[in-house]
Structures are given as structure tokens and as C-alpha cells.
Amino acid sequence: MSDSISKTIKEYASEYQAQHLKELLDFLRIPSVSTDSEHVKDIRIAAQWLETELKQLTFEVEVIETAKHPIVYAEKIVDDSLATVLVYGHYDVQPVDPIELWDSDPFDPIVRDGLIIARGATDDKGQVYAHIKGAEVLLNTDGQLPVNLKFLIEGEEEIGSPNLDSFITDNKEKLAADVVLISDNAMVAPNTPTITYGLKGLSYIEVHVKAASHDLHSGAFGGGVPNPINGLAKMIASLHDEQGRVAVPGFYDAVIDVQPEEREAYKRVPFSETEFAEELSLSATPGEANYSLLERLWARPTLDCNGIAGGFQGEGAKTVIASEAMAKISCRLVPNQDHEEITRMLGDFLKENAPEGLSVEVIDLHGGKPALTPMDSKEVQAAAKALSEVFGQETIFARTGGTIPVVSTFQTELKAGVILVGLGLEDDRAHSPNEKFDLVNYYRGIESSAAVLKALADIK
């Protein structure tokens, strides 16, 4: 450590790039899929891997058991007079399916054309690891951290963080912080430093529709019995009106609408509707009437069917009326919608709109709260300035349609300012095949982390 202390952050970070890459690839090799019981061991291995890493950086580390997957908590307290920053992230990842659409093994990371390709590369192992390396850079250049630093890295984010809220509520003193710093989001465009100030919430249900006790010959019974697939299709179609609005009564009651200043600010965001459509090979971008594409993506609540199943799926034609059908439906929510209330309204609406003769069962799968963070606070302004300096570009303020359920808990329970710094890109293929993190964004993420922590030193 000692011979590097005279180096600048930039010098150290660039000298150690190869080492920092090798370590991230090791982390990505651990298949820490939280949804899949086959991977419970790997989840633990990932938690222990982080424990070892953080101990090497002289943090005090605990791996804390929960009802499901462990939480990794680490801290390094420098001086009570300094600001305390809590970095939150998650080490769990999404499943890899459909595996056949990957060009390489999702858990055998490769670097190709300047991209790190692996499950978790951007969401969120790569981004959270950039902060761990940010701390390393500071320790090995300045010899000490500029702030008291805590890490809270969970293993259940992709399953809705079921055990995290109670952990935070029960450990307010341990977790106490002036600022919570998170990179589990994205920049609006390449080379554009971004602070995300709005996240959507989530209400997610599964609906089962049943009719006869068994599948029926469609010739012998067609026209005389209810068809669960026809019925479910009709129910799903009833969820939107002609204006692209969600038709569930009360759905918009609590919505804080896009403010006029926000509308103006969105026009200055480097976002092209044409490029957006082209990149996704789309011929149109339909949605709620009277709102721009960016407003719909960032600030309006939405409803989508995520999956649908039922009946004959095999080769050729089979003349049959299935006895049941199923759909998965999610709503993305905005402040101040309440996910429990929305789940109830949606379930009631589906039941009321079910065609005659069908039984409907609604299962609540999970939910998450939306969040908005202030843009004018001292800490956010300090972070924005630091990011601008690292990138040589002005920092942009953006919202996103994604959900990080714990953000609103940090605000209400820890009373901390939350800063969401996107280190990856919106099209990093999170949750998709060939998930990636650009090498430049990883390296710049490490520098950004160090710069932001330095800038937060005296915000207290």
C-alpha cells in the first residue's frame, strides 16, 4: 500500500485496471441467482466472497442471516465529525433464461469489444463492485477514506427485498448515515453523468382463471361451455381504455402528475424517440395519450401483462378447450400510489370483469414502493459537481421506470438523503440474455465513486 500513497486517484485507478477487472470477473463467476432454490449455496458463496474482499480493505464485516438470503454489512468509521455514507447494492442476480439466447456462458464472463458480458455485469454486481474499488482507490492513494463508509449489500433485491425493511428498522443505529449512495440504475446516455431522482414502484400479481374440471373436446363442447383462455384474454383487454389509460377505477387517484417544470426539463434530456424506436426495432411507441414517451417511461404509472399461459402449446393442431389459463400482470407505480391498494383494486377489477362461468383467483406476488429524491440538497449538488468533473460533462437529472424497493425505506427510516448514480447504461440488457457492462463505464464508475465520496466529506 505504502508506495502508492503518493499517487493520484486517476493514476492509481488506471494502473490497477487489469487487477480490478480480474476481480470483478471472479465475482461474476458466482451464479448468485436469488429466485432459484438450486442456487442457495452460490448465494452464500457470493456473500462470503464480498466478506473476504471487504475485510482485505480493512472494513469490519458481518454476514447477517435473514429468513432467506444473507445481508453483507461492512463499515469503516474514520471520524465522527465526517459525513457517513452508506453504499447500498445487491449481489443477487436474475435467472439466465432463455439460456439459448446467450452468445456465451452467463457465468463464465468474457470481455469482448470493450464489454464485460455476464449475468450481473451491470445489475448489480459490476456497479456495486465499482464502489468497493472506489474505496480501495481512496485508501491506497490518500491513505484514508474521506467519509465514514458503510456497505449494505443484500442478496434478495431481485425477489423484492422481503427481509430488508425489517432489518433496516431493527438496525437504525448501526446503519445511521447522512447519505445513502446507490448505483443500481443507469446513465441516460453514454458519457452522460446521471443522477436518478425518481424510481417507479411495483405491484405484481398472477391470475388464474378456471372453468370445467378437465380439458374438453372443442367440437363436442365448443359453444356450450366457458373458455378460460378467451375469458382471460378479454379480462386483460379490459385493463386499458382506448386512450391507453389503465381502466381500473381509482388507479390514478393518488398519482402526483408530471409537474410543468419537469415537462420543460425533460425536453432538455439527450433522448431521441426515433433512436429509441430504432434500437429496439420498433415501428411505433404507443402508450397513454397526451404524454410524451419520456413522460410515460419515467413519470406515469403503467400496466403490462408479463406472461400468459394455457391450453395446447405443442406442434400442430389439437382441438381442445382448456380447463384453465394463467397470466402474470404488473403495474409500475409512481408517487403517491400505494402498491397494496393497487394490487387490491386490480384483483377486484379482474374478478368483476370475468366472463360468466369462470372462477378467478388472484395471487399477490410482490410489490415495491416508488420514490422521489430531492434534487437541490447539498449532498446531491456536491455529487453532481463531482460527477461532472470526472466526465467533463454536465450531470443530468433523470427518472426511471425501474424499482428499487428499499429506497423509500432509507428515506423514511434512516432519514438519509439518497443519491442514485447510474454507472451503467439503460440498454445494458439487465434481466436479458447477454447482459453487459462497458469496461469504460466500470473504470469510470470506480473513479466516480472515489470522486463522489470525496465530495461528500463535508456535507454534514
C-alpha–C-alpha distance, residues 373 and 317, integer Å: 54
82 binds, among ligand BES, Mn ion, none (CB under 5 to 8 A by kind): none
453 and 147 Cβ atoms separated by less than 8 Å: yes
402 binds, among ligand BES, Mn ion, none (CB under 5 to 8 A by kind): ligand BES
Helix, strand, coil percentages for the chain (3-state, nearest 5): 35, 25, 40
Q: Which stretch binds ligand BES (CB under 6 A): 30-38, 311-319, 385-393, 395-403?
A: 395-403
207 binds, among ligand BES, Mn ion, none (CB under 5 to 8 A by kind): none
Q: In the complex with ligand BES, which residue's Cβ is closer, 371 or 414?
A: 371
Residue 447 as a binder of ligand BES (CB under 6 A): the answer is no
Please report, as a single letter, which amino acid is at residue 115: L
Q: Which stretch binds ligand BES (CB under 6 A): 27-35, 184-192, 224-232, 257-265?
A: 184-192
Secondary element (H or E) of residue 132: helix 125-141
- Which residues, at least 6 apart from 100, have a Cβ–Cβ distance to it below 8 Å? none
194 binds, among Mn ion, ligand BES, none (CB under 5 to 8 A by kind): none
Contact mark string toward ligand BES, 139..158, x via CB under 6 A: ------------------xx
400 binds, among ligand BES, Mn ion, none (CB under 5 to 8 A by kind): ligand BES
C-alpha–C-alpha distance, residues 18 and 288, integer Å: 47
Q: In the complex with ligand BES, which residue's Cβ is closer, 241 or 340?
A: 340
295 and 258 Cβ atoms separated by less than 8 Å: yes
Q: Which stretch binds ligand BES (CB under 6 A): 134-142, 345-353, 373-381, 399-407?
A: 399-407
Residue 124 as a binder of Mn ion (CB under 5 A): the answer is yes
Residue 441 as a binder of ligand BES (CB under 6 A): the answer is no
Among 123, 262, 435, 438, binds Mn ion (CB under 5 A): 123
Secondary element (H or E) of residue 46: helix 40-56
362 and 205 Cβ atoms separated by less than 8 Å: yes
Closest residue by Cα to residue 136 from 124, 128, 123, 145: 145
Among 148, 194, 227, 403, binds ligand BES (CB under 6 A): 403
Interface with ligand BES in residues 71-130 (CB under 6 A): 123-124
Contact mark string toward ligand BES, 356..375, x via CB under 6 A: ----------x-x-------
41 and 104 Cβ atoms separated by less than 8 Å: no
Burial group, residue 34, by CB count within 10 angstroms (0-12, 13-18, 19+): buried
Task: Give the bridge partners for 359, in sequence order.
Answer: 210
Q: What is the number of the residue whose Cβ is closest to ligand BES?
A: 402
Q: In the complex with Mn ion, which residue's Cβ is closer, 125 or 454?
A: 125
Among 42, 53, 75, 184, binds Mn ion (CB under 5 A): 184
Among 32, 140, 163, 185, binds ligand BES (CB under 6 A): 185
CB of 119 to ligand BES, least distance (A): 12
Interface with Mn ion in residues 190-229 (CB under 5 A): none
295 catalytically annotated: no
The edge-to-edge listing of strands for the beta sheet with 201-210 is: 302-310, 324-333, 201-210, 359-368
C-alpha–C-alpha distance, residues 382 and 212, integer Å: 63
- Which residues, at least 6 apart from 5, have a Cβ–Cβ distance to it below 8 Å? 140, 141, 142, 143
> What CA–CA distances, in Å, run from 408 to 164, 263, 320?
12, 24, 48
Residue from 157, 379, 435, 447 carrying the catalytic annotation: 157
Secondary element (H or E) of residue 340: helix 339-352
92 catalytically annotated: yes
> What CA–CA distances, in Å, run from 202 to 164, 272, 288?
16, 26, 18
Residue 160 as a binder of ligand BES (CB under 6 A): the answer is yes
CB of 166 to ligand BES, least distance (A): 16
Question: Annotated catalytic sites, by residue?
Answer: 92, 157
By CB under 5 A, name the binding residues for Mn ion. Answer: 123-124, 184
By CB under 6 A, name the binding residues for ligand BES. Answer: 123-124, 157-158, 160, 184-186, 202, 366, 368, 400, 402-405
